[in-house]
A and B are shown apart, each in its own frame.
Chain A
Amino acid sequence: MNEKIRVDNLTFYYGDKPAIKNISLSVRENSVLALIGPSGCGKSTFIRCLNRMNDIIPNTRTEGDILIDNESITGNRYDITGLRRRVGMVFQKSNPFPKSIYENIAYGLKINGLKNRYEIESIVEQSLKSTALWDEVKDRLNESAMGLSGGQQQRLCIARTIAVKPEIILMDEPASALDPISTQKIEELIQDLKAKYTIVIVTHNMQQAARVSDYTAFFYIGDLIELNSTDVIFTKPDLEMTENYITGKFG
């Protein structure tokens, strides 16, 4: 499988303080990488570097390089809007637009220049189908997205993300505010989506990391401690520190 993302010696500073330190790793195409680690270890900072969401935070600085398909995305002249179309993001709290279900998905397509109504309708339907939401909302596409349940809203946000055909999807604790059934649906979805996309997911739920990911990276206070196949991490991690974290012995 091809290397989709490569990170070389990435350090990210908030002011003078490095939040992640000298991180190097690569993510294979069509795989799921889970990032685990205690709060404040730099997981979210790390994934926000991958679509340069951190750029909007003042007084921050990045060192090192990030390459997607062997092309650096860190330069000042890099097309950030284009990058964010290629690298979609789903957040912890679902954040649908205060618009209709249909418009939530059509909006991204329209601002990307798509004008053909039938084409837009077709993509809206496909996106909702691939997030298993279609049957639940097909009769009320013009109703407000705010009327959906939390789990449905989160799946709508994922549908909105995949409608613009990204290559990579970043998920920052996408199921942490959802009930078990909605969580299960999101996890199922992640497994289905990796056939088409490369996924990086931050999660505090270790079992979720074990269930959905192919690779798991353990971060601790800004350092990447261990990255290994998920099977190895959860049965016999190479490092004692990883073992201590996943067995809850951390202190």
Chain B
Amino acid sequence: MATHFEQELENVTIKVFKMADLAIEAVTKSVEALKTSDMNLAKKVIEQDTALDTLEKEIDEECIRILVTRQPAAVFLRLVLVILKSNTDLERIGDLSSNIAKECIRLSGKPTMKALVDIPRMASIAVEMIKDAFAAISEKDADRAREVIKRDDEIDELNLQVYRELFSYMIENPYTVSQALGLIMVAKSLERIGDHVTNIAERSIYYIEGKDIRHGAEQ
């Protein structure tokens, strides 16, 4: 039977997984709104960001309480730390999705310069990365977390590709500058989301193996 302490850890873990689900929803919907010029969906993404903000605070408070009252050690300490820090990354992913949604609203009414291909691809990779990072935590599968970290390169590559492409559009036709800059911002936001998921994956390895692999420590 789980102790009260284990129950507390489970409760806060469930919350951070719920936050991950909300973050996935935010990324997916913000890019979907952009793709289909759906203003209502974009507004919804912005509204729902407060749910992530609220959860962030709740999780912080619960982790602080666990640290103070339980003084966790070893694997429990590492779990609390991975939750506490991933929490911030997930909240930032929510903010970045909100920025994408705001950009979508700003671009509304303007003629679409091209069908969006790479940006939705970036979003779907980011979403898979979030899913895999949290699967790695729940299954204590460090190899899976390492795969997540590798996938960040794909997003970075696509970001550069989007930038190059939009840059050429801007040179050819100055009227596209406003829209192209907006899409560059969107791609940059998705690239940042990839970085936040990478942070989560790196920390999940710390949780599973006790190793700090940040900043190329494993290369």
A residues neighboring B (CB under 8 Å): 206-207, 210, 234-237, 242-243, 246-248
Contact check, A247 vs B210: say whether CB atoms are below 8 A apart. Answer: no
* Chain A residue at minimum C-beta to C-beta distance from B210: A236
Contacting pair B78 A247 (CB below 8 A): no
Neighbouring B residues of A236 by C-beta, 8 Å: 74, 78, 209-210
5 sample A-B contacts, Cβ–Cβ < 8 Å, listed by A number: A235-B210, A236-B210, A247-B75, A247-B76, A248-B3
CB of B71 within 8 A of CB of A247, answer: no
Instruction: Give the Cβ gap from A121 to chain B, nearest Cβ, in Å.
Output: 43
Asked if B78 and A235 sit within 8 Å, CB to CB, the answer is yes
Further 18 A-B residue pairs, CB within 8 A, beyond A234-B74, A236-B210: A206-B71, A206-B73, A207-B71, A210-B73, A234-B73, A234-B77, A236-B74, A236-B209, A237-B74, A242-B74, A243-B75, A246-B74, A247-B72, A247-B73, A247-B75, A247-B76, A248-B3, A248-B5
Contact partners of A206 in chain B: CB under 8 A: 71, 73
Residues of B within 8 A of A (CB): 3, 5, 71-78, 209-210
Q: How many A-B residue pairs have CB under 8 A?
A: 29
Query: How far is A235 from B73 in the complex, measured between Cα atoms in Å?
Result: 6
Give bound CA distance, A242 to B209, whole Å. 15
Known A235-B210, A236-B210: A243·B5 in contact at CB below 8 Å = no
In the complex, what residues of B have CB within 8 A of residue A246's CB?
A: 73-74
Q: B210 — which chain A residues lie within 8 A by C-beta?
A: 235-236
A248 to chain B, nearest CB (A): 7
How close is B13's CB to chain A, nearest CB, in angstroms? 15
A235 close to B74 (CB less than 8 A): yes
* Chain A residue with Cβ nearest B77: A235
Q: Across chains A and B, which 6 residue pairs bring their CB atoms closest together, nearest first?
A: A236-B210, A246-B73, A243-B74, A234-B73, A247-B76, A207-B71
